[in-house]
Amino acid sequence: MLYQSNLPSSYWCYAFSTATYLINRLPSSVLAFKSPWELLFHSIPPLSSLKTFGCACFPLLKPYTDHKLQPKSTQCIFLGYPPLSKGYICFDPHSHKVYITPHVIFNESDFPIIPTGQSDSSSSSFPVHLPLDLWISNLLSGSSPSSFSDVSDALPSVSSSFPVS
């Protein structure tokens, strides 16, 4: 998925999450040609919202603008599905913002490339997730999620059009 979408390997966590999302909705011969979704919810999974990973997308940005003269959308990269809500994860490579919104228009034949100044290197060009060594060390030490507060500055800003409860 990363190769087809021209994304650097630092986005593997989004590709992995999207692959898991898709596997949970596909039928399996091990489950008598039913999907894990179907066994859990006793209904056929909705497949109409599936989109191509890494394609160009245009999320509605009106809820995030300060005034009416700002653009209502910008070209972003589709990175998957949020785990706790309906919608899509869209990454704006120019402003380094991640938007989670259900209001998106997709161009599944266009795969934008990350600007050259942000190419894949030994360190992650966009800190989308905790650094792998920090994540593993906290996992092995049995630390609670509250111990991640010292790295909150390294995480990207995430915007969502959903109310937080």
Residue 62: φ, ψ to 5°: -55, -40
Q: How far is 35 from 105, CA to CA, in rounded Å?
A: 28
pLDDT band at residue 106, thresholds of 50, 70 and 90? Answer: very high
**75, pLDDT greater than 70:** yes
Among 12-16, 108-112, 156-160, the least confident range: 156-160
**140, pLDDT greater than 70:** no
**43, pLDDT greater than 80:** yes
For the entire predicted model, the pTM comes to 0.67
pLDDT band at residue 45, thresholds of 50, 70 and 90? Answer: confident
Residue 111: φ, ψ to 5°: -120, 95
Query: What is the rounded average pLDDT for all residues in the chain?
Result: 76
pLDDT band at residue 76, thresholds of 50, 70 and 90? Answer: very high
Average pLDDT over residues 30-36: 88
Q: How far is 37 from 157, CA to CA, in rounded Å?
A: 31
